[in-house]
Every structure is written in structure tokens, then in C-alpha cells.
């Protein structure tokens, strides 16, 4: 009884201390999650009631892109607020040796460390996939985590605390990670000071399963073509949509458990929830990702477009679907602004608060993505930059033998017809090229020297 009284006291008075300028921030990251693997995206074949609920209650940024479409550089950009050509964790396969060292990032200001200075408890659960330990990157509390990039879905070896030594852990991995988050939310620590909680799941990354029988039952008897997202070609070799959807649906269930725990703890009104996919997955489109782990990296919609939902009670006035082409690189800036902090001057992301508050002059009209690995044997030949609006996309390759690509996404969502030489769209193409050039100059991008 005494424990309940103490928890109730903390619940009643703790959050009100920082409600005005320091909300809790819960960042939920999925892995290899296509933008259209979501009911809210118009995909009636997939079962995601919890994420759909979050999208309806928050701002669903359905045109969002990830700045770099691969696991570890994507995470490095969230940590550093910088694009890969600046933080130099270029890809899973290639990094600057100094950045890949145990004390990497060379003293760059990191999002968790900056929030910690602001009085936040900075917490981590889940996949990490970077060389420096989380404790060296500003996390004050490291709970159950996965140092490497991938793992089985059941009975995984996981690290705990400041040690990378894996310990055998029984159960479904996504459930274990959700349990860890719920345990924190149920503790007095969740009420003692504002928290920034980085929660990184591994679903729906390969191997997709196994998932519990009740999740498998959701798609039992469905033919492969019944599971394709709207508009996905039905005449190409594809990946395993059934098991991919199972992984998403089990992840969705865990997100729901976390949101319910947030409500039960009385934290829902003072917690900003952000749900983000770390990159997309092509699932065989354009012949990419038919099998294995090669379904990302490329500059096409299935790879760079991701689910992004922000629920910010008392802050966001928008609700439901929003077409603004936001970037994952905007999130570190926005999170610091939510915490009442000015971001470092060289972080190029944009503050999304004007957009979330419904201001018409928010200025979010395009986004830039990049593949900055120019050296690895596996992906170095794919170096590119792209700039995208909700309707048009321009792709510029480093390889001078590859033609630049320009797509009207509204008329050609599968990016089948390159309009780079279409005189009718020359003005729009040139405007996007100017936006890209300004971005590269602003961020001191070496791609400015590429032959365009």
C-alpha cells in the first residue's frame, strides 16, 4: 500500500513540475518498415490497429522520408543531428575509423547528451547497432539492449546496463523489449524528472519471425496477392509479405501495450510520442530486396519513405494525415525545441513545431536524402543525393555514367518513367536542383563536386 501511495504522489505532482517546457519524449523506432505497411496508409490488408490509433490521435506524416535509408547511419543521424557526410558513419559497411571507435563521434554534441544537460533522464531499450556504447552517447540509463544490428525473434541473447556481454533471454524479442519499457513507465523513476526514452525494436527486420500463433492467425489463408499494399506491382518476384506483415502486427501489439502503460501511469498528457521507421524496404520492387538484406539503400520510395507519427498533447494542433514532406533529420532539432533548447547551429534539420501547431508558413516543402558511402564494395557504387516534394523527386548520382532521374510521383508512384529530359517539367526539375544545391552548400556536402 505504501508503494502505491508513493507512486500516486509522484504521479500527481512530479509531471506538473516540468509540463510547461519539458515534456517527456518517447521515441519508438521500427526496423525496415515500409511506409505503406500500415493501415493508416490505406493498406487494408495489414492489421495495425494500435499504430492506426496513434496516427488518428496524433499527426501522421505520411510523406515522411528517412534521410539515409540504412540502419546504423540512420541512427547516427538521429543521435548527431547531422547527415552522414558530416558525422561520417556513412553506412553499415563503411565508417570513418575515428567514428567507428569505442569513443566515436569525436566529441560531437549528441541528442541524448544535450537533453541530459537540460535535466532529462535519458533512457535506452532495444537495438543499438553502433560502435560507441550508449552510455558514451549521453544515455544515463541503459536497460535491455541489442548491441548488434539484428537477432532472432525468440530467445535472444541481450545486453543489460553498461555491459555488452549478452545474457540469454527467454521469450519473443519484441515482447521482451516492450516489457522493459513498461517496467520503466511503471516505476517512480518515470515521474521524478522528464525522460527521453529511445526504444528501438527489431521488427519487421529479417528474419520476420517466428511470431505468436494469434498473430499468424491474422493472415492465415491469405493469398500472396491479397497482401500486396495498394499499387504494389503484382507481376514481380516479391519478398514474404505474410511473415513481414506478421512482424509488423506483432510490433503493433507491443506499441499498444506501451501506449496503454503510458496511460495507466498518468503520463499520456505530458509525453510526446514519436513513431519512426529507420528505413523502408523494397520487397522486390525494381528487383531490390527479393531475398536477403538488400532491400534498402536505393533512392526509391519503398526504401526512403517511412512511417512517421507524432502525438504531442497540448502542443500539436494538427491531427490526422499531413502531407508535409518532413525528414527524419528534422526530428533531433524538433526534440530539442520541445525540450526548450536551441539546437546546435550546424544541425540542418528543421523545427517541426510550427507545422505541428498548424501554422501555414511552416516552410516544410521538400526533403533531402543521401547515400554518402562512396567506398564500400557492396554499396559504394550507389552514392547519390535526392530531393523530394510530395509530388516530384530528383535523384543525382555520383557515377557520371548514371543518368539523373526525375519522377512525377503523383502520376507515376512506382517511378517507372524518368522525366529528366521532359521540357514540360524543366522548370520544376530546375527548381528542385536549386534546392538540392543550396542544401549541399549549407551542409558543406562533398557532393557539390560531383559532375551533374
10, 64, 17: which is closest to 275 by C-alpha? Answer: 64
Considering the domain architecture, whether residues 347 and 241 belong to the same structural domain is answered as yes
The pLDDT score that the predictor gives to residue 153 is 98
Task: Kindly tell me the number of DSSP H helices and DSSP E strands found in the chain.
Answer: 13, 14
Contact between 252 and 234 (Cβ < 8 Å): no
Residue 376, in any domain of the structure: no
pLDDT(412) > 60? yes
- How confident is the model at residue 3, as a pLDDT? 38
Residues 114 and 206 in one domain: yes
Determine how many CB atoms are found less than 10 A away from the CB of residue 113. 19
End-to-end CA distance of the chain: 70
Distance CA 74, CA 229 (A): 25
Answer yes or no: are the C-beta atoms of 199 and 28 closer than 8 Å: yes
Instruction: Tell whether the model's pLDDT for residue 104 goes beyond 90.
Output: no
Query: Quick one: 409 and 310 in the same domain?
Result: no
What pLDDT is attached to residue 12? 47
Residues 399 and 280 grouped into a single domain: no
Half-sphere exposure of 259 (CA within 13 A, CB side): 21
Q: Which residue intervals of 23-99 are DSSP H helices?
A: 49-57, 71-80, 84-87
- Tell whether the model's pLDDT for residue 264 goes beyond 60: yes
135 and 276 co-located in one domain: yes
Measured distance CA(418)–CA(404) in Å, rounded:
9
Q: Is residue 339 part of a domain?
A: yes
- 256 — alpha (psi -120 to 50), left (phi > 0) or beta? alpha
CB atoms within 10 A of CB 155: 13
What's the pLDDT score for residue 19? 52
371 within some domain: no
The answer on 60 and 191 residing in a single domain is yes
In the structure, what pLDDT confidence band is assigned to residue 11 with cuts at 50, 70 and 90?
very low
Q: What is the DSSP code (8-state) at residue 315?
A: T
The mean per-residue pLDDT over the stretch 82-111 comes to: 94
The residue-averaged pLDDT of 259-278 equals 98
pLDDT in tens, 368-379: 999 999 999 999
Taking only the tens place, the pLDDT of each residue in 294-340 is 799 999 999 999 999 999 999 999 999 999 999 999 999 999 999 99
- Whether residue 103 is predicted with pLDDT greater than 70 in this model: the reply is yes
* 372 occurs within a structural domain: no
Mean pLDDT of the chain: 94
Helices 173-185, 241-264: axis angle to 10 degrees equals 10
Residue-wise pLDDT tens digits, 157-197 = 999 999 999 999 999 999 999 999 999 999 999 999 999 99
Q: What is the pLDDT of residues 341-368, one digit of tens each?
A: 999 999 999 999 999 999 999 999 999 9
**Confidence bin at 450 (pLDDT 50/70/90):** very high
Strand partners, 305: 65
Across 94-102, average pLDDT: 92
Q: Please tell me the distance from the alpha carbon of residue 237 to that of residue 388, in angstroms, as a whole number.
A: 27
CA within 13 Å, CB half, 432? 26
The predicted pLDDT at position 5 comes to 46
Instruction: Please check whether residue 50 lies inside any domain of the structure.
Output: yes
Query: Does the residue 423 lie in any domain?
Result: yes
pLDDT tens profile 209-262: 999 999 999 999 999 899 999 999 998 877 799 999 999 999 999 999 999 999
What whole-number distance in Å separates Cα of residue 68 and Cα of residue 82?
11
The band of 88, judged by pLDDT with boundaries at 50, 70 and 90, is: very high
Give residue 21's pLDDT: 77
40 contact partners, CB below 8 Å, separation of at least 6:
48, 51, 52, 55, 56, 60, 62, 321
pLDDT at 283 over 50: yes
Q: Are residues 148 and 203 in the same domain?
A: yes
- The parent domain of residue 400 ranges over 383-452
Shared domain for 348 and 413, answered yes or no, is no
Over 70: is that where the pLDDT of 15 sits? no
pLDDT band for position 17 (cuts 50, 70, 90): very low
CATH of the domain at 59: 3.40.720.10
β-sheet bridge partners, residue 385: 370, 396
Based on the domain organization, do 409 and 265 belong to the same domain? Answer: no
Q: Could you give the number of structural domains in the chain? A: 2
Same domain, 327 and 416: no
Q: Decide if pLDDT at 16 tops 70.
A: no
Residues 100, 157: one domain?
A: yes
pLDDT for res 20: 55
For residue 317, what are the contacts with CB-CB under 8 A and spacing of at least 6?
A: 356, 357, 358
For 124-139, the pLDDT digits (tens) are 999 999 999 999 999 9
Q: Is residue 370 part of a domain?
A: no
Global pTM value? 0.95
Smallest Cα–Cα separation from 29: which of 63, 72, 58? 72
Is 168 a member of any domain?
Answer: yes
Report the CATH number that the domain containing residue 437 is assigned in CATH: 3.30.1120.10
Distance (Å, whole) CA 219 – CA 92: 33
**Pair (208, 167) in one structural domain:** yes
- What pLDDT sits at residue 149? 93
Give the residue among 314, 315, 309, 326 at the shortest CA–CA distance from 388: 326
Strand partners, 65: 305, 327
Amino acid at each position: 500500500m505504501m508503494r502505491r501511495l508513493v507512486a500516486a504522489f509522484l504521479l500527481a505532482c512530479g509531471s506538473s513540475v516540468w509540463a510547461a517546457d519539458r515534456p517527456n519524449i518517447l521515441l519508438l523506432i521500427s526496423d525496415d518498415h515500409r511506409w505503406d505497411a500500415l493501415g493508416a496508409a490505406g493498406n487494408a490488408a495489414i492489421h495495425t490497429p494500435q499504430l492506426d490509433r496513434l496516427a488518428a490521435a496524433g499527426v501522421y506524416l505520411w510523406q515522411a522520408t528517412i534521410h539515409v535509408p540504412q540502419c546504423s547511419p540512420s541512427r547516427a543521424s538521429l543521435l548527431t543531428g547531422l547527415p552522414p557526410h558530416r558525422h561520417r558513419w556513412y553506412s553499415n559497411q563503411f565508417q570513418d575509423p575515428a567514428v567507428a571507435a569505442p569513443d566515436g563521434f569525436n566529441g560531437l554534441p549528441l541528442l541524448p547528451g544535450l537533453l541530459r544537460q537540460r535535466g532529462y533522464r535519458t533512457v535506452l531499450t532495444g537495438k543499438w547497432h553502433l560502435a560507441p556504447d550508449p552510455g558514451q552517447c549521453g544515455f544515463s540509463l541503459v536497460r535491455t539492449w541489442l548491441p548488434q544490428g539484428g537477432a532472432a525473434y525468440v530467445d535472444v541473447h541481450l545486453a543489460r546496463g553498461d555491459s555488452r556481454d549478452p545474457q540469454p533471454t527467454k521469450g519473443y524479442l519484441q515482447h521482451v523489449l516492450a516489457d522493459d519499457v513498461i517496467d520503466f513507465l511503471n516505476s517512480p523513476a518515470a515521474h521524478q524528472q522528464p525522460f527521453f526514452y529511445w526504444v528501438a525494436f527489431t521488427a519487421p527486420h529479417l528474419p520476420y519471425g517466428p511470431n505468436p500463433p494469434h498473430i499468424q492467425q491474422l493472415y492465415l489463408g491469405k493469398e500472396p496477392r491479397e497482401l500486396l499494399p495498394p499499387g504494389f506491382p503484382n507481376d514481380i518476384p516479391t519478398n514474404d509479405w505474410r511473415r513481414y506483415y506478421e512482424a509488423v502486427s506483432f510490433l503493433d501489439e507491443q506499441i499498444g501495450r506501451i501506449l496503454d502503460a503510458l496511460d495507466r501511469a498518468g503520463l499520456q498528457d505530458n509525453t510526446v510520442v514519436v513513431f519512426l521507421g529507420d528505413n523502408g524496404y523494397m520487397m522486390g520492387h525494381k528487383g531490390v530486396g527479393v531475398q536477403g538484406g538488400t532491400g534498402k539503400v536505393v533512392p526509391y520510395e519503398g526504401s526512403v519513405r517511412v512511417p512517421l507519427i507524432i502525438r504531442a498533447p497540448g502542443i500539436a494542433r494538427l491531427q490526422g494525415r499531413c502531407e508535409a514532406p518532413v525528414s527524419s533529420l528534422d526530428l533531433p532539432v524538433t526534440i530539442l525545441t520541445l525540450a526548450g533548447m536551441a539546437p546546435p547551429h550546424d544541425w540542418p534539420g528543421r523545427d517541426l513545431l510550427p507545422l505541428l501547431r498548424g501554422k501555414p508558413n511552416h516552410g516544410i516543402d521538400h526533403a533531402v536524402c543521401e547515400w554518402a558511402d562512396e567506398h564500400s564494395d557492396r554499396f559504394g557504387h550507389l552514392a547519390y543525393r535526392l530531393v523530394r516534394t510530395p509530388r516530384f523527386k530528383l535523384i543525382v548520382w555520383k557515377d557520371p555514367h548514371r543518368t539523373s532521374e526525375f519522377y512525377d510521383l503523383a502520376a507515376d508512384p512506382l517511378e517507372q518513367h524518368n522525366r529528366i529530359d521532359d521540357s514540360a517539367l524543366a522548370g520544376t526539375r530546375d527548381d528542385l536542383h536549386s534546392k538540392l544545391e543550396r542544401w549541399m552548400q549549407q551542409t558543406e556536402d562533398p557532393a557539390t563536386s560531383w559532375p551533374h
